[in-house]
Structure 1
Amino acid sequence: MKMIGENSSIPSTIGDLIGLRTLNLTHNNLKGHIPASMQHLSVLESLDLSSNKIGGEIPQQLASLKSVEVLNLSHNYLVGCIPKGKQFDTFENSSYQGNEGLSGFPLSKDCGGDDGVPQATNLVELDQEEGGDSPMINWQAVLMGYGCGLVIVLSVIYIMLSTQNPMWFSRMVDQLEHIFITRTKKHKKGYVTSRYLT
């Protein structure tokens, strides 16, 4: 592996140093990107790349590093979303300060939009904010509403019918019977009159 000097970039072959526990490259005027091959540094405990000119995104693959206890990526030109999960959920703001293009936890700037790839949870939140509720949720709400309404109506009818004197029901039946008889009589009378005239 070639040596890392000032004004150079971190070589991807750094991922071959699988026994590396501490990597301190602070104040080396480094450029380029953080190589995704660093995900292979499985026993790495401390990573300090602060005060350089490193740009691009923090590789999402670095979230697989379980042993990192100290992380300092401050004062670079990093952009995009901070990886989520495992050790990355334990680092504080100071690990990322001085990178105006970074977003996501633990920074106050939400992750998503053009400056990074939104996480799955953010996609759901954005969809709901834009009014794009899922059809399944809408149908569930409708069915729950109909079900509750039906139970209430049936309960009220049962209570009223189970009382000793459902006067309202008797009146309703009498009115319907009266309307039916009246219409039948009118129909018969009209039929007889028309037959007589012909």
Structure 2
Amino acid sequence: MGSGIFSCSETNIIINFSRNRFEGYLPSIIGDLVGLCTLNLSHNCLEGHIPASFHQLSVLESLDVSSNKIGGEIPQQLVSLTSLAVLNLSDNRLVGCIPKGKQFDTFENSSYQGNDGLRGLPLSKYCGGDDGVPQATTPVELDDEEEEEGDLISWQAVLMGFGCGLVIGVSIIYLMLSTHYPVWFSRMVVKLEHRIVARMKRC
């Protein structure tokens, strides 16, 4: 039995499409849904890579894409998701080293199990430098720290512009989906757009 749950509030969006039969790739344009708080696409037949654009989901607290066919490496950019409290990438085809730093230092083995090609802590397969000795700060980590300092702006201003920006973004997504993205995502965006329009009318 499949599921499809949307929850839209003034500050966040929750999308749950777990246990369906969705096929195709994870659209990188999901990264434009900057108010996304929870994304659950587990137990489907999705493939391809995790889009690096997911690092734009600055308020994302839970990401679950377990039990799919997703391959490639975990994008290093996802380390910038400082609100991420739940991560489940298990039972896919991921390879390479698990990113280090910030929230990724808190996730347990269960977040990655079932990916034979993954290496690095907390798994028993080590990447270079996983010897317990702290590594030197990389330029990428320095850039992330500088971005955090520069991003201390008023969240109220961000949220005020979020409503208009999301409607415009979803409209653009809808136009692009007809030829470039999977049918399942097109249906998801149309439903989400209707909810947003209905909420704006009530305001």
TM-score by length of 1: 0.55
Which consecutive unaligned segments of at least 5 residues does structure 1 have?
114-119, 123-198
Give me the whole-angstrom Cα distance separating, in 2, the residues matched to 1:121 and 1:7: 39
1:109 maps to which residue?
125
1:29 maps to which residue?
45
Structure 1 residue 47 and structure 2 residue 63: aligned? yes
Which consecutive unaligned segments of at least 5 residues does structure 2 have?
1-16, 137-203
Give me the whole-angstrom Cα distance separating, in 1, the residues matched to 2:55 and 2:127: 22
Give me the whole-angstrom Cα distance separating, in 1, the residues matched to 2:71 and 2:95: 7
1:58 pairs with one of 74, 83, 106: 74
More strand by share: 2
Structure 1 residue 6 and structure 2 residue 28: aligned? no
1:148 maps to which residue?
none
1:17 maps to which residue?
33
Segments ≥4 residues shifted beyond 4 Å: none
Describe how 1:163-178 pairs up with structure 2 within 5 A: none
Query: Counterpart of 1:121 in structure 2: which amino acid?
Result: Q
1:168 maps to which residue?
none
Structure 1 residue 121 and structure 2 residue 149: aligned? no
Q: Secondary structure at the match of 2:30?
A: helix
Q: State the 1:48 CA deviation.
A: 0.2
Query: Counterpart of 1:82 in structure 2: which amino acid?
Result: I
Query: Counterpart of 1:95 in structure 2: which amino acid?
Result: S
2:98 maps to which residue?
82
Give me the whole-angstrom Cα distance separating, in 2, the residues matched to 1:66 and 1:24: 18
1:92 pairs with one of 74, 99, 108: 108
More helix by share: 1
Give me the whole-angstrom Cα distance separating, in 2, the residues matched to 1:28 and 1:65: 24
Q: Write out per-residue CA displacement over residues 66-106 of structure 1, whole angstroms, 9 at most, x where no aligned residue.
A: 00100000000000010000000000000000000001111
Give me the whole-angstrom Cα distance separating, in 1, the residues matched to 2:61 and 2:37: 5
Give me the whole-angstrom Cα distance separating, in 1, the residues matched to 2:92 and 2:65: 8
1:196 maps to which residue?
none
Query: Counterpart of 1:72 in structure 2: which amino acid?
Result: N
Q: State the 1:38 CA deviation.
A: 0.1
TM-score by length of 2: 0.53
Aligned length: 114
Give me the whole-angstrom Cα distance separating, in 1, the residues matched to 2:43 and 2:128: 30
Q: Write out per-residue CA displacement over residues 110-139 of structure 1, whole angstroms, 9 at most, x where no aligned residue.
A: 1139xxxxxx939xxxxxxxxxxxxxxxxx
